[in-house]
Amino acid sequence: MPDAAPPPPAPPEVAAAVERGDLSAGASENIARALADAHRSGSHAAIRELIDAGDWAELDALYFEVIPFGTGGRRGRMSDHGTATMNPRTVAESADGLARYLADQFPEKAAKRGGLSAVVAHDTRHRSEEFARLTATTLAARGVRTFVFRGFRSTPELSFAVRHLGCDAGVMLTASHNPPSDNGFKAYWNTGGQVLPPHDRGIIDAVYASAAVPTIGFDEAVDDGLIEVIGEEIDSAYISAVADLSLSSNRDVAAVYTSLHGVGETNVFNVLDRAGFRGVELLDSQRDPDGGFPTVDANFPNPERLEVYEPAIARAKEIDADLVLATDPDSDRLGVCAKGTGGEFRHLSGNRVGALICDHVLRKRSQQGTLPANGYVVETLVTTRLIGRIAQAQKVRVIDDLLVGFKYIGQTMDQEGPDAFLFGAEESLGYLAGQYARDKDAAVAALYVMELAASLKSGGKTLHDRLDELFVAHGYHTEGQFSEKLPGSGGKEITAKLMKAFRSAPPTALGGVELAKVLDYADHEVRSLPGNERIDALPEPDGNLLIFQSDAGSGTAVRVAVRPSGTEPKIKFYTFATAPVSDAGALPNVKAATDATLAKVQGDLSAWVAAQLDELS
């Protein structure tokens, strides 16, 4: 947050709560500012009620920070008021800041009422429609012509719509795979990708500077031509754009698909239907749009969690399906389970789905003679290196030094040329091909997974079989991850201290494997281990990410990545192990040994983190 004037004095009861340790200093400052702000007068009575009740825990949760407008937008718990939550004020000021920044960037357009344009979409979460209408009316009140989807849509369709309609910006109201309590405001630039430097910082500053936020009635704005409701015409263009990327005519495969009560029927199912897949059954029990995600395990609709697949797997066994597909509520991420030996369904990680899709796209395009001479695939620094090995074997360029976030893949597409873009992937179930969007899309991923599975099935094979073939050809790659949640007013401080510990006195061996060096993308240097001494510069990219590596030699190579999450209050840890495979007969033993090494690495890393947190607490 930019520098601000000193806060006004806090009410005596609030100051006393800080002295007792019942309330954080940040909450005290934000409460004082809110009570002194006439533009927040609607929340004054509610704040006073909580003060009078002495509910300091709730006040701290609502006001311990100004909810960050990160490099893509805002995400967090919903409430009726509070600087640290998603509520009508934080949504409106986000839209207002975006509108004012657009006016600064495009003054000639802004000089004409309706000269600037934006498109707004929302998912099925609680209050998403309310927040979308509020975003639209705020943008319209600033003179921005705003297209609003009639009903819920997917995030990738929003990305497509920004480009298709030639808009200056877009907003998606979603919290992706977060629990039902959360929502979010994701900002997109005219490329169709999430905002990037320098626009991210400019929008952030404009958002934090918002005071009086203008508004206009929704119907009034429609009558004035400042808001236009859109729907089927964009759907048809988007679905065609994805379905036209088909690389195979194989369609004989059966799948159960679940949207986890989200929007996925609008993109994944409709694309598969347009592409001619008739063996896809929607899981009826999770079909209804419902922001409470009532039938999802723990009401937590993240397709990276194995528990969410249980109802769909049960149905898949009943109908003898080959695949289970699942998407998160805004349907930009695709999860896959595939039937293997004995008819049991096994989950495929995002890394492995990405490798399979990459292999499918490159093989098919090579066979069809459509691989461009300068073609390239893109992946982030925490994604499996198997994708790079597959691409290199096809003599395709690999760009694999990107920070976490699909926006960097979208940026690379525009920098390197979208005509040569073949495939992009990130480990958290995000994939893209084609040029129609600049964000990950579960629909195109589902199209290619289904095509590959159908092709393999015609030869008596499964996705698991093809994955084993890739391991024999390119080495066995296995990956894992875990997180440490650090919520609340003290979470940021602990996160910073833990990252400092990783930089100043890192672990030098994990799982019996010696670590040889660390790549520090914040301090921009490579350091040798165990001495932790600088040996080289690391100019790009710039982010709070550390990668530890072993010396590969001829045996198992280990990598570990550490970074604070950009969307949730947690630190994320990614682990990788790779080993050569001499032939198919050796693969089972290589798998067992490498998996065991990775498990030991994760165990040691988890223990090291726990010890550090004990010291910090």
Active-site residues: which are they?
176
In SS3 terms, 177-206 reads as CCCCCEEEEEEEECCCCECCCCHHHHHHHH
Burial pattern 459-480, b for ≥16 Cβ within 10 A else e, equals eeebbbebbbebbbebbbbbbb
Name the DSSP letter for residue 233: H
User: To which H or E segment does residue 400 belong?
Assistant: strand 397-402
Report the C-alpha gap between 142 and 95 in whole angstroms. 10
Region label for 219, one of left (φ > 0), alpha (ψ between -120 and 50) or beta (otherwise): alpha
The closest of 314, 326, 348, 385 to 552, measured between CA atoms, is: 385
DSSP code per residue over 302-360: -TTSGGGGHHHHHHHHHHT-SEEEEE-TTS--EEEEEE-GGG-EEEE-HHHHHHHHHHH
Count the neighbouring beta carbons within 10 Å of the beta carbon of residue 481: 18
Decide: 382 and 574 in contact? Cβ < 8 Å.
Answer: yes
Three-class SS of residue 293?
A: coil
The closest of 34, 29, 37 to 79, measured between CA atoms, is: 34
**Which amino acid is it at 172?**
M
